[in-house]
Amino acid sequence: MDRRTFLRRAGLGSAGVAAVAAPVGTYALGHHLGATQLDGNYQQSVRAGQQRGAVNVWWSVTTDERVLALTFDDGPTKQFSNEVMDVLDRYHVPATFFLIGKLVEKYPDHVARMIADGHEIANHTYDHYSAATQSIDEVRRTVELGADAVASVLGDRPRWFRPVKGHITGTLLSAAASIGHDVAMWSVSRDPGIGTEIDDMVGVRTNYVDSVHEGAIVIFHDGIGRSGFDLTGPDADLMLARRTEIDALPDVVERYLEEGYRFVTTSQLIDGFGRFETDDPGAGDDGGGDL
């Protein structure tokens, strides 16, 4: 069974996004090529639903064109960000960087280079805590402060937000909506749940290449989470895992190019190829609006 048939039978259809109801309210859910679980405190999720509005959550888009968005989380860092940008510059490909606010404040020159090189920058919270472990006020604070840190360099709050570890709660969606964020997840990563060793560069490269598909959002990392600014210093295992990803990056980019993929930013992918499905014959097919 091909991917399109699977998604259609799963009720997600072929146009790119389905509407999903949840205790937190209603929001647009992007294609997710596999199972997911909404982690977090149920009470805070229910409380977060006492409002009106919507936020769009994307894992990928459905298209027949060989196009993808390359994304990087957890930067900027002195260890990896410039190296990643050097690789992207070598192959003339754009990316979207999901940045930690504390590190934006620490390395504004790295962020300035991302912007100058034509990359898109986005919010990945201020201090890189999972929403599943935080109170309502803590979630809202970290999302807002992360957006403001990016705005201090960009000039405006960014369009995109990505939750830490991919953990989605009602409070997080509420905070993202209040700022005007859309939420970008991912459909291709270094390890699709098969337990690839942190130092297995060949395995990581193979996972990226074998999992790619038209309309993918691909996640790499140019940072090391909270260990990029904690007093304990960089985590050795996490450093090795990131080193492995970045060592694989040039080969992965080359393979994508050889297979005819075109690289775009997350905004270009969603704006150019994202579509919402609806059962309302009077509604448009290009998404948006309160649900």
Residues annotated catalytic, as ranges = 73, 221
Helix-helix angle 201-211:236-258, to 10 degrees: 40
- Farthest CA pair distance, the chain: 56
Map residue 122 onto helix, strand or coil.
Answer: strand
Map residue 21 onto helix, strand or coil.
Answer: strand
Q: What is the CA radius of gyration of the chain?
A: 18
Phi-psi domain of 258 (left: phi exceeds 0; alpha: psi -120 through 50; beta: other): alpha
Interstrand relation of 67-75 and 216-221 (parallel, antiparallel or unpaired): parallel
Buried b (16+ CB within 10 A) or exposed e, 94-116: bbbbbbbbbbbeebeebbebbee
Secondary structure (H, E, C), 47-102: HHCCCCCCCEEECECCCCCCEEEEEEEEECCCCCHHHHHHHHHHHCCCCEEEECHH
Q: What is the DSSP secondary structure assignment for residue 60, as one 8-state letter?
A: B
User: What CA–CA distance (Å, rounded) separates 200 from 109?
Assistant: 32
* Sign of the C-alpha dihedral computed for residues 92, 75, 275 and 166 taken in this order: positive
Encoded tokens for 283: 């509604």
Q: What is the DSSP secondary structure assignment for residue 188, as one 8-state letter?
A: B
